[in-house]
Structure 1
Amino acid sequence: MYRLLIIDDEEAICRSLQFAFEDKYKTLVANNFSTVEKYTSMYYFDVILLDLKFGEINGLEVLKYIKNKIPECQIIIMTAYSSIDSSIKAMKLGAWDYVLKPLSLDNLKIIIDKALEHKDLSCRLQDMQDELSTIKSDKIIGKSKSMKDVFNLINKVKNIDVNVLITGESGTGKELVAREIHYNGKRKKGRFEAVNCGAIPKNLIESEMFGYEKGAFTGAIKTKKGKFVLADGGTLFLDEIGEMDFDIQVKLLRVIQDKIVYPIGSEEGIKVDVRIIAATNKNLLEEIDKGNFREDLYYRLNVINVKMPSLRERIEDIPLLVEHFIKKYNSTLNKNIKAVSPEALQLLKTYNYKGNIRELENILERAVILTENEMIDIYDLPYQIINNDNVKISDDKLIVSVYETFDTIEEKVIRKALEKIGNKRKTAKILGISERTLWNKIKKYGI
């Protein structure tokens, strides 16, 4: 429910307006500036009706004070016909609109509705702009059978208001799936709010999700909207739901069932329309058996399950992902990397990614930063990649690492040269050493 503040030094007008709007909005009135200071410090207001003739105080000064205190608030000026010039000045200072006295309630209701609609659209536009860079740079990529199954499921559920549980190892792109469902579905005009249940301390997760009133606890210096209220009409993404405290699970279940949120310190519930998409890298059925997760909450969340495959299960997607990340970091780092060498790609395809796509992205970001060429080669990759026994490279190349000793590298070179050339005299000549020296090295390294 929106909050409305009526500021007028005439108590009769305040009472009449409060009576007219209290069923639709949380309505408070202020007849003096000290009350204005009190209420704007205690609460967040969506709309304020301000009389420009406010006792001995200049209404424009009150307007400046409010806009400094609550810049997003929509202020509607109430004024007499003779003060229209002042009303125009007020609009230049940030007022939304003005209405003439005597007031027409029907007209005032229309103006308030339009002000709130504009405020909501502005907030959503800002949210969409904030998300735009993420949507452009991060997207789900894949042509493997397992990813085609994921795309097919996303397409089926994006316009259906059911809760979704996304499961899979860390780094597989679970949040990207949640965003894909939201921004391609019927809720895309609403907000997408995300909560990492594993990153927020236990004592803060409740206030983050449900919000709180000013003074509800030490440090609550102003009212704060929770993620459920912010996501009203949109989607709430609960990442790492398996880490959520058991007590908070009870409250979450109640919100899912009743669709009403109770901010901390408030006895008034707020009705919300939110789609929940949860994600976890844990086996929640095992967590239920251990007594760490509520079974009734699990079945509320797991209406549709999207299983994200690990990168090890979709090797054929690695070339596409490599190409995508090179383009991404070419743009952000102002580089001009054209590709990776066949040997480097082979290394990337045979590596066992414990961190999945997130680890692959970090590897390529590092390679783009470090390489001085237009192609990423094996030597631009980190040690754990090139020191992979499963990798086969062309027989005229050798993998060495800066972490290896000179003796180790020398032994590798001599062994590789002898294997490739097959003749000690020619090998010594190519290596630029005498045959005697080569014989000594062979003996030293036990070749």
Structure 2
Amino acid sequence: MYNLLIVDDETSICTSLSFALEDNYTVFTANNEENAIKIINECEIDMVLLDLKLGESDGIDVLKKIKTIKPEVVIIIMTAFGTIESSVKAMKCGAFYYITKPINIEELSLLLMKGEEYIKLNTKIKYLSNQINEDSKYNIIGSSKKIKQVFDLIDRVKDIDINVLITGESGTGKELVARAIHFQGKRKEKPFNVINCSAIPDNLLESELFGYRKGAFTGAMEDKKGIIELSNEGTLFLDEIGDMNINLQTKVLRVIQDKEIRPIGSTKSIKVDVRFISATNKELKEEVKNNRFRQDLFYRLNVININLPPLRDRKEDIAKLIEYFIKKYNVKLDKNIKGITAKALEALEKYNFNGNVRELQNIVERAIVLTESDYIKEEDLPEEIFNRENIMVDKDHLIPIFVGEDIKSIEKKVLEYTLKKFDGNRKKTAEILNMGERTLRYKIKEYEL
């Protein structure tokens, strides 16, 4: 629901318009310039109905001030003096449109609907502009120390023709890093192709990688280029490389060493110039030990390793990611969610996020679909967010307790550490420990804290 401010020095007009529009908008009213500017500064106003003759104030001057504070707000001028001159002046100063008094509610409703369409279009344009800007960088959201280290590595390797292995848990954004390396580097004008080694059966993966000649096998009705050849002079991203069949690994190793391929059914080799970027959520060193991954291929792929941190290790980025996903899904789902409540954000910052950024994205999308508010609230989040086993344990919140330690010593530690955590706030400490303040005072005295 959009926020609408009605500004008119006649209280009766504010009241009647508010009554007529309150089912479709969250309505604010002001009877003078001072109150109008105060509301604009303090509230997220989307549209304004502004009287051209506002007591001692000039509506045009008020319009200019509002536009200075919030340029994107939609302002519809109301006037009993519907001269062409005043209307044109208002439009030149940034008014969306004007309507003459007495107000026809149906006409006003149509104007407000057009105002809503303008807001949605403007939001979409801004979002797409931001996407272009983000794509020209990394399209990776975050400013934590660990993600900045990833940015630094991208900057260092993007223009150097060496193979890169990206490691990290599922959902951390490994393909985004691969794309950033390619599209920021010297090969950016050349092809970037992706193949998921775990999504294609072993018997088909070889033909997808190397291509084949007509008649090479049943069903090979014509020549087909493989994705390695299609990536010539560009980059091939081998996602989930740890799931590749060990026999096929041998052939990929030969391509990296010899820089040539031989399509299935062909007697001739084809020279290729391809940069290989690989990714896995497996521990490849363990796979090598267990003879499931070739050691020589591992060393060929792992010239530079970029390890993506799990979301739980960069929780300071969660708020920025949520803001990004809200903007994204507002456009996609035609919603107008303004943000997230402090309690809901706190719950998400404590959550373990085994699915990492991808899981957070799904949670935000789900919340935007389900919420009936302008803000994502705790009740809009999935129940598992609040399950104790899914909540991250902050090491700063742990208390050292040893086997055989007496109960009084343990109780003293709990009181002492909790008081310290809340800067000596007894009320908060008593509330957290589920005890009365009088009992807490007695315990503090008993343990001489």
Please, what TM-score do these two structures have when normalized by structure 2?
0.57
Residues 243, 353 of structure 1: CA spacing in aligned structure 2 closer, same or farther, 3 A cutoff? same
Q: Secondary structure at the match of 2:199?
A: coil
Q: Secondary structure at the match of 2:277?
A: strand
Aligned residue in 1 for 2:180: 180
Aligned residue in 2 for 1:441: none
Aligned residue in 1 for 2:157: 157
Question: Would you say the 8 A contact 1:378–1:386 is kept in 2?
Answer: no
Aligned residue in 1 for 2:279: 279
Residues 132, 342 of structure 1: CA spacing in aligned structure 2 closer, same or farther, 3 A cutoff? closer
Amino acid at match of 2:325: F
Residues 138, 380 of structure 1: CA spacing in aligned structure 2 closer, same or farther, 3 A cutoff? farther
Q: Secondary structure at the match of 1:198?
A: coil
Matches of 2:190 and 2:311 in 1, distance apart? 32
Aligned residue in 2 for 1:343: 343
Matches of 1:289 and 1:246 in 2, distance apart? 13
Matches of 2:386 and 2:274 in 1, distance apart? 47
Superposed, which structure 2 residues align to 1:231-242 within 5 Å?
Answer: 231-242=231-242
Aligned residue in 1 for 2:143: 143
Q: Report percent identity of matched pairs.
A: 58
**1:60-112 deviation per Cα after TM superposition (whole angstroms, max 9, x unaligned):** xxxxxxxxxxxxxxxxxxxxxxxxxxxxxxxxxxxxxxxxxxxxxxxxxxxxx
Matches of 1:388 and 1:373 in 2, distance apart? 27
Residues 242, 353 of structure 1: CA spacing in aligned structure 2 closer, same or farther, 3 A cutoff? same
How many Å apart are 1:213 and its aligned residue?
1.2
Q: Secondary structure at the match of 2:249?
A: helix
How many Å apart are 1:386 and its aligned residue?
3.1
Q: Secondary structure at the match of 1:237?
A: strand
Q: Secondary structure at the match of 1:193?
A: strand
Residues 144, 373 of structure 1: CA spacing in aligned structure 2 closer, same or farther, 3 A cutoff? same
Aligned residue in 2 for 1:90: none
Question: Would you say the 8 A contact 1:329–1:368 is kept in 2?
Answer: yes
**1:224-272 deviation per Cα after TM superposition (whole angstroms, max 9, x unaligned):** 1111111111100001111000000000000001111111111121111
Matches of 1:378 and 1:138 in 2, distance apart? 31
Superposed, which structure 2 residues align to 1:357-436 within 5 Å?
Answer: 357-388=357-388
Matches of 1:259 and 1:132 in 2, distance apart? 35
Question: Would you say the 8 A contact 1:167–1:305 is kept in 2?
Answer: yes
Aligned residue in 1 for 2:229: 229
Runs of 5+ consecutive residues of structure 2 not aligned to the other structure:
1-130, 393-430, 438-449
How many Å apart are 1:221 and its aligned residue?
1.9
How many Å apart are 1:387 and its aligned residue?
3.5
Shift >2 Å, 4+ stretches: 131-138, 386-391, 419-422
Aligned residue in 2 for 1:294: 294
380-389 vs 293-302, greater mean Cα deviation: 380-389
Residues 134, 252 of structure 1: CA spacing in aligned structure 2 closer, same or farther, 3 A cutoff? farther
Q: Secondary structure at the match of 1:139?
A: coil
Amino acid at match of 2:271: K
Amino acid at match of 1:183: F
Question: Would you say the 8 A contact 1:213–1:222 is kept in 2?
Answer: yes
Question: Would you say the 8 A contact 1:196–1:238 is kept in 2?
Answer: yes
Matches of 2:297 and 2:385 in 1, distance apart? 41
Residues 332, 246 of structure 1: CA spacing in aligned structure 2 closer, same or farther, 3 A cutoff? same
Aligned residue in 2 for 1:114: none
Amino acid at match of 1:248: L
Q: Secondary structure at the match of 1:305?
A: strand
Superposed, which structure 2 residues align to 1:90-129 within 5 Å?
Answer: none
Aligned residue in 1 for 2:325: 325
Please, what TM-score do these two structures have when normalized by structure 1?
0.57
Aligned residue in 2 for 1:27: none
Residues 134, 205 of structure 1: CA spacing in aligned structure 2 closer, same or farther, 3 A cutoff? farther
Matches of 1:350 and 1:298 in 2, distance apart? 36
Matches of 1:160 and 1:305 in 2, distance apart? 14
213-222 vs 189-198, greater mean Cα deviation: 213-222
Matches of 1:149 and 1:295 in 2, distance apart? 27
Residues 133, 229 of structure 1: CA spacing in aligned structure 2 closer, same or farther, 3 A cutoff? farther
Q: Secondary structure at the match of 1:194?
A: strand
Aligned residue in 1 for 2:39: none
Superposed, which structure 2 residues align to 1:27-46 within 5 Å?
Answer: none
Question: Would you say the 8 A contact 1:195–1:237 is kept in 2?
Answer: yes
Runs of 5+ consecutive residues of structure 1 not aligned to the other structure:
1-130, 392-415, 423-447
Q: Secondary structure at the match of 1:166?
A: strand
Matches of 1:158 and 1:290 in 2, distance apart? 32
Question: Would you say the 8 A contact 1:166–1:174 is kept in 2?
Answer: yes
